[in-house]
Structures are given as structure tokens and as C-alpha cells.
Structure 1
Amino acid sequence: MKNVQIAAFYFPNYHIDPRNEAVHGSGWTEWELMKIARPRFPGHQQPKVPLWGYEDEADPAVMSRKIDAAADSGISAFLFDWYYYNDGPFLERALREGFQKAPNANRLNYALMWANHDWTNCHPLPADRVSMLLYPGAVTPETFERMTDYIIETHFLHPSYWKIDNCPFFSIYEIYRLAESFGGWDGAAEALNRFRQKVCAAGFPGLHINGILWGVKLLPGENTIADPCDIVRKLRFDSVTSYVWVHHAELKHFPITPYHEVLEENQRYWETARREYPVPYFPNVTVGWDPSPRTIQKLPYRNEGYPMMATMDSSPEEFGEAIRAAVKFAGQLPESSRIVTVNAWNEWTEGSYLEPDLQHGSAYLDMLQTIITAGSFRRNQLSWAEQGIA
């Protein structure tokens, strides 16, 4: 159980972005959905209100408090959900203006999880359940080359960027979307190889590519779904993980599924992943699940599929049980791969967040700190000063 790192996914839609303003109006952020969320069934805990208020995460002072809270709780890194479409970055001000300019950015590492999915208008989902496609997740090969150059210069070379065995960590959310961008798995493999070569040319020993494995789909011209294990080998992934529990477990009870049932189902998935994948699997812990803020609040709440679906709440104690199980699992991996991913630092509109709220205060972070303090876990990489970086 030694030297386990905790990496929390970070969803950066709580600052103003011109793309959002074009769709939702001036000054819009996803906080607007939280402000109007209401209970949809007996016992439903909404609205969920942030203890720190509806802050602007692109403000370095605001991000500084998040960094301190995460680092003090034993979190090693934020894994930013990172968007880059054919016309460039989206939702990046939280990272570029908030995190990178925070005075204490040396206290926490960060890495990119390329959220290369279609961006649709589900904020909230329309009553007819037809969500308009705003930005396609598949990019052109030319965009991919520009994007990887940008990533190396803007992020990999930043002193707080997270590395495994000195190799920058880069995660990909929708593997089949990557293949779609390059006309198949062979093209995707070649593109990733070029990315690796660029990273080595920039002075790194290599690139650690992590795959979020879920929902592998048919590509045009394919007759059978590709074996995820074959994809891992073909794309030469260095590790795999999950983003959220509901990708691997059915929420069998509506409107609320007990947390422990979903934990047990995901623990079975961890064991399957350990046996089947040719690379380390980093176990995932999900704090909760409630996407009801992304629905129209006046509509009846029925079990009709995302975001109108079953929810899952945890107590801090139940979350602690899940963290302990994941840490124990990760402790059996090679030392540099002893990593647990957590969904999430701030998925407020999906009901999965570590940030303090009015209901629980800082209880989830306190629980995390207690567990990490009780063990010998690696908190962070070397500080800038220890690395000799001014």
C-alpha cells in the first residue's frame, strides 16, 4: 500500500468561455445549472451548493485555494478534462489562467485527459432529448499535429506537469474517436507514434499514454467491435483507467442505487482489468452520481437515460471505504504505477465532487487526508525548488 498517488479528474466548465457564451448567453458558466437545480424525488439532495461559493476557476487566487486543499488532502495531481477541437482549445482558461498562474502551482501536479468526445448541448438536455452537436470530437490529422505541438510547448514543459518515470502523462477519453480521426486503428497508432517522437525530441525519455477504456464502438467498415486488449497493444498504451463508475456498472435501482452495490460491481471490473489488460490498470473511485442538474427542472424525473437516470450518493465513510479498497488494489501494481483516479474534484452537475459543499463541508477531503496520513503514500513529485527550477 506504499507510494500510491491519487489523481483527481477536474472538469473546467466553471469559468466564462466564448463558445459557451455564444450558445447560452453572456457570462454563462455551468454554475447556472447548479443554481436552479431542485429536488426531483423524495429524499433527493438538491440543490448542491458549493461551500466556497460560485467561484471563477480562471482566477489564480480561486485556483490557489483549490490547489492548497487538494495538496493538503494528499492528492498528487489534477487530471484536467482537456478539450481541443478543429478550431482550437476550449475551456482552457481554468488551466492556463487559473492553475498555471496560481502562486502555489508548485504544490500540485497536473496532466491532460484529452476529452475528445462530441460536445453537445446538454446544459440542460432539451425536453425532446435531442441534443444538438456543437463541436465534433474527431479531429483532422492536421489538427492533431498542431494540437500535439501545442501540448508539448504549453503543458509538458511546464514544471508542474505530471510525469511517470519522467515521461509526461497523457490520457485519451474516447479511443474509438481517435481511430475515427485517422480512418482506423492503424492510422491512430501511427499518429501516436509521431506524438511520441515529438516528445522525445523535446528532451523527455518518452510519453506515457493512458487510455480511458469504455464504450468501444464500431468504426465505419468494421463488422465486429475491436477487442479492447488488442487496441491497448496496437496503440502501445502504457496504462489504462476509468473515468466514472457508471461506465462499468448498471445503476439497477431508480431513482437511487446504493453506493456499495456500485462499488462492488466496479471492484469486480478492477479484477477483470487486472487479468485481461497487458498494462497496469489504475482503479477508479467515484464520489457520487447525480446528473439531474443537466435536465429541465420542471419535467417529471423518469428513468429515460442520461441525464434522466438513477442517482448514487455516498457518505464520506462509504467514500473512504472505496478509497481504501482502491489503494489496496493499486498497491499491488509496479511502484511507478500505483495510482488511483478519482471522479472527480468538481463534477458538480453530475453529482461527483470532492470540493466542499454546504451539506458535508470538507468531509470528503478530510476522509481522504485521514486515509493518506495513515499510510505511506507518495503525495507529489519533487517541488520546483527540489528540481532546481526557479
Structure 2
Amino acid sequence: MTSMHQDYIVGVYYFPNYHRDVRNDEWMGEGWTEWDLLRQAQPRYPGHRQPRVSAWGQFDESDPVWAAREIDLATDHGVNTFLYDWYWYDQRPYLQDALERGFLQAPNRERMNFALMWANHDFRSIFPAPPSKDQQLLARGSVTAEQFDVMTDYIIDHYFSHPNYLKVNNAPYFAIYDLGTFVKGLGGLEAAHNAIEQFRTKVRALGWSDLHLHGHIFSRTILTSEMSLTNPSEVIEQLGLASTSIYAWPHFYDPDAGGFPKSDYRLAMASIHEAEEQYRTASVPYYPCVSVGWDSTPRTPAEEPYIAYGYPWTAVLEGNTPEAFREALQWAKAYADQTQAQTPRIITINAWNEWTEGSYLLPDTDYGNAYLDVVHEVFGPSREMKS
């Protein structure tokens, strides 16, 4: 039994950089977590709402006690699925302890589903980012066919077998963040197709109907290493994607388009809706994405002038009030109702805890649970049903 709405899967992206990791110790300093950036954030212009302060304080997400508290908060407010940002660098996982030691060890873990969003982008030094576009490469996100085979064995062994891993029609859901980097790393579309087919074969051999492969498509990049697709329809067809979406609104909308250093949330919302309309008649379902907000200033050095160098030196989306967020959720719900024939219908939210990008549902000292209350109002509470 897993926690699920009868009609909707409300999947919220979970960014697991708020616990200690051995490679963070090496790259950023002993004991470093992303809480350090949040704590050091400063206003960048008059009226800028920084620093953001967690109402729960700076907790360790790899602690199952804290993970259990997150699960209860999420499910009590209508969030029934965590979509974990999941990393694989140098043939081993990174930042996995929030999921493996936290969520999967929590006594109430089966109250909600989880799934992986493979964040296969290059990992660069943006914690904080230098005042330029020159960001040091820490780890490459591309993989070879052999490395992908090892990685998918790990994924199947460690995650898919859990009863609360998200399945769509008995097919484990697996998302790829950067399809362009994936295809390039494998050596082309044919090789990428073959690697995915091998993954599917392993999944089917264990009794599941198929692999539900979800891909992120975007008309513009955020991170410097991301690759936009020149022919997304061909990639969708050749890789056999079952669905598509974006990770966050800036993949369809440039925050700087409405001004710098600040822009408007509703302006971004209108642009996102226009972009998503193009996917109503796509060959596979497009799952609408709602961003809670956007403010990546904590990933820049507070002592440096705030200049538009590109991510994370981007405009802040002001006006992302709970009321505006409600409008965005209601639009996404209606879009899903009109475009997804199957139930439960899937909607994604960015994010549970992207604190240093200004997009989070977790309570802060300004709004408390207001954004979670909106999710509850729009979708209702999670309830038990068979997955």
C-alpha cells in the first residue's frame, strides 16, 4: 500500500544537498552542505527577500527521523511522491544518503511514493559561483554504455524493488534530466536507444511491464553544461519516451526577460502556459510543471556586485505569493485533466527544497506552510490505495 491520490500523482522534486557527503567534504570543505549558502545569503536589491530561513532550522535530511517528519508533512498536505534528484558520477552515486539513509529508512516511508530523476548534468563549482561564466568542472555527467549498464543495475537493485517506488501501469518511472548529454555521452542516438533497450530488458525480466522513461525537454538551458535538443520529436521516438516535462520554469522562460535583477512570477507563468500549450497534441503526454518560485542569488558570493552573468546570476521572480502559486497549480491541474487520458494524472512541482533557487514547499519563517496548504486545497489530502 502506498500513499496516492485516486486521480493525481503530485510529484515534487527533492534536491538532496542538505546532508553531509564525502565528495562535498572534498570539494567544498569538511562538513559543508547547501545550508551554508542559505545561511550566508544577503539581499541583492531593496526589498529583496533574503536570506530565507527554514522554519525547521537546518536539519540533516539523511536522518530517518527528519525524513519521517518530511513524509508526514508532505502527505498530510497532498504531496504523494518525491522525485529525487539523483546523481551518478565516476561510476558511483552522489548525494544518495538523503534517499538511502533518510527516506528509505523512515518508519512511515510507505505513506508516499518515490522515484528517480537522474540529474545527469556536469557538476560544477557554483557553491557559490564565481562572478563570471567560468565555473570549475567537478564531475562529468555523461556516461558510456558500460557505465550506464552498471548504473542501471544499481538503480534496479537499490530502488525499483521497493513497493513504494512509483510505477505507472506496472512500469517503474525513471526520468532523465538532460537528454542531450545522455545521447552525446553514449555516442549518438542509436547507441542511446540500444542502452535504453538493454535497461528495459532488465526491467521486464524482473516482472514489470516495461520502463516508464520520462525525459526533460527544454527550449533554453539553465546550467552551462546542458544541451538543448535540436529535434526533440526524434529523440522522444528513438528512446521510446513515455512522457516529458521540464524540471523548472527557467527551462522554458528566461527570468531575465522581464528585467534584472528582478522580474515577475505571473509574467513567467503566462510564458510557461504558452510554451506548454504546444505539447497538448504531442506524441506522448507532457506532465505540467509548476515552479514555486525562482531566486538563485544564494549561489552567488554576497560580496560581489549582482551582474547578469548567466546562471546562477539571474533575475529573481518576485510576486510568487501563495495566491499566485494557487493559480499556477489550478492551471496545471486543468491541463492534466485535458491532456492525460490515464489516471492517476501526473503533475510535477519544483520543488520540495530548492532553497538556494528560491523554489521550495518546506515551511520558512515568512510563509510557514502556506504553499503546502495551497497544494492541499487544489488536490486534497493523500490517501491510501493500491499502487
User: Match of 2:74?
Assistant: 70
Task: Identify the match of residue 325 of structure 1 among 322, 328, 331.
Answer: 331
User: Match of 1:347?
Assistant: 354
CA contact (8 A) 2:86 2:116 kept: yes
For the residues of structure 2 that align with 1:329 and 1:380, how far apart are their CA atoms?
23
The change in CA–CA distance for 1:380 and 1:95 in structure 2 (over 3 A counts) is farther
Alignment partner of 1:256 is 2:256: no
Task: Identify the match of residue 298 of structure 2 among 284, 293, 298.
Answer: 293
Alignment size in residue pairs? 373
CA contact (8 A) 2:288 2:335 kept: yes
User: Match of 1:363?
Assistant: 370
Larger mean CA deviation between 333-342 and 42-51 belongs to: 333-342
Q: TM-score, normalised by structure 2?
A: 0.93
- Show structure 2 runs of 5+ residues with no match: 222-227
Alignment partner of 1:176 is 2:180: yes
Question: What letter corresponds to residue 290 of structure 2 in structure 1?
Answer: V
User: Match of 2:44?
Assistant: 40
Larger mean CA deviation between 140-149 and 187-196 belongs to: 140-149
The change in CA–CA distance for 1:337 and 1:177 in structure 2 (over 3 A counts) is farther
Task: Identify the match of residue 90 of structure 1 among 94, 102, 127.
Answer: 94
Task: Identify the match of residue 334 of structure 1 among 337, 341, 348.
Answer: 341
For the residues of structure 2 that align with 1:185 and 1:337, how far apart are their CA atoms?
31
Larger mean CA deviation between 281-290 and 362-371 belongs to: 362-371
User: Match of 1:302?
Assistant: 307
Report sequence identity in percent: 43
Structure 2 residue matching 1:46: 3-state secondary structure = coil
Per-residue CA deviation, residues 186-217 of structure 1 (Å, 9 max, x unaligned), is 10011001100000011111110000112589
Task: Identify the match of residue 140 of structure 1 among 127, 139, 144.
Answer: 144
User: Match of 1:79?
Assistant: 83
Per-residue CA deviation, residues 281-315 of structure 1 (Å, 9 max, x unaligned), is 00000000000000010011122211111011300
The change in CA–CA distance for 1:8 and 1:380 in structure 2 (over 3 A counts) is farther
Per-residue CA deviation, residues 84-111 of structure 1 (Å, 9 max, x unaligned), is 1233000000000000000100111000
For the residues of structure 2 that align with 1:68 and 1:208, how far apart are their CA atoms?
27
Structure 2 residue matching 1:57: 3-state secondary structure = coil
Structure 2 residue matching 1:366: 3-state secondary structure = helix
Larger mean CA deviation between 333-342 and 114-123 belongs to: 333-342
For the residues of structure 1 that align with 2:42 and 2:55, how far apart are their CA atoms?
18
- Residues 217-236 of structure 1 correspond to what in structure 2 (within 5 A)? 226-236=230-240
For the residues of structure 2 that align with 1:105 and 1:215, how far apart are their CA atoms?
36
Larger mean CA deviation between 58-67 and 333-342 belongs to: 333-342
Alignment partner of 1:151 is 2:155: yes
User: Match of 2:55?
Assistant: 51
Alignment partner of 1:110 is 2:114: yes
Q: CA deviation at 1:269?
A: 1.1
Per-residue CA deviation, residues 232-258 of structure 1 (Å, 9 max, x unaligned), is 011110000111001101222212211
User: Match of 1:266?
Assistant: 272
User: Match of 1:281?
Assistant: 286
Q: CA deviation at 1:2?
A: 7.7
CA contact (8 A) 1:2 1:331 kept: no
Task: Identify the match of residue 123 of structure 2 among 114, 119, 122.
Answer: 119
For the residues of structure 1 that align with 2:16 and 2:286, how far apart are their CA atoms?
25
User: Match of 1:221?
Assistant: none
For the residues of structure 1 that align with 2:65 and 2:236, how far apart are their CA atoms?
40
- Show structure 1 runs of 5+ residues with no match: 218-223
Question: What letter corresponds to residue 297 of structure 1 in structure 2?
Answer: A
Per-residue CA deviation, residues 45-97 of structure 1 (Å, 9 max, x unaligned), is 00000000100000000011111111111112000000012330000000000
Runs of 4+ residues over 3 Å off in structure 1: 379-382
User: Match of 1:311?
Assistant: 316
For the residues of structure 2 that align with 1:289 and 1:12, how far apart are their CA atoms?
18
Task: Identify the match of residue 99 of structure 1 among 100, 103, 106.
Answer: 103
Alignment partner of 1:10 is 2:10: no
The change in CA–CA distance for 1:176 and 1:238 in structure 2 (over 3 A counts) is same
CA contact (8 A) 2:54 2:364 kept: yes
For the residues of structure 2 that align with 1:351 and 1:380, how far apart are their CA atoms?
29
The change in CA–CA distance for 1:366 and 1:14 in structure 2 (over 3 A counts) is same
CA contact (8 A) 1:17 1:91 kept: yes
CA contact (8 A) 1:109 1:380 kept: no
Q: CA deviation at 1:336?
A: 3.2
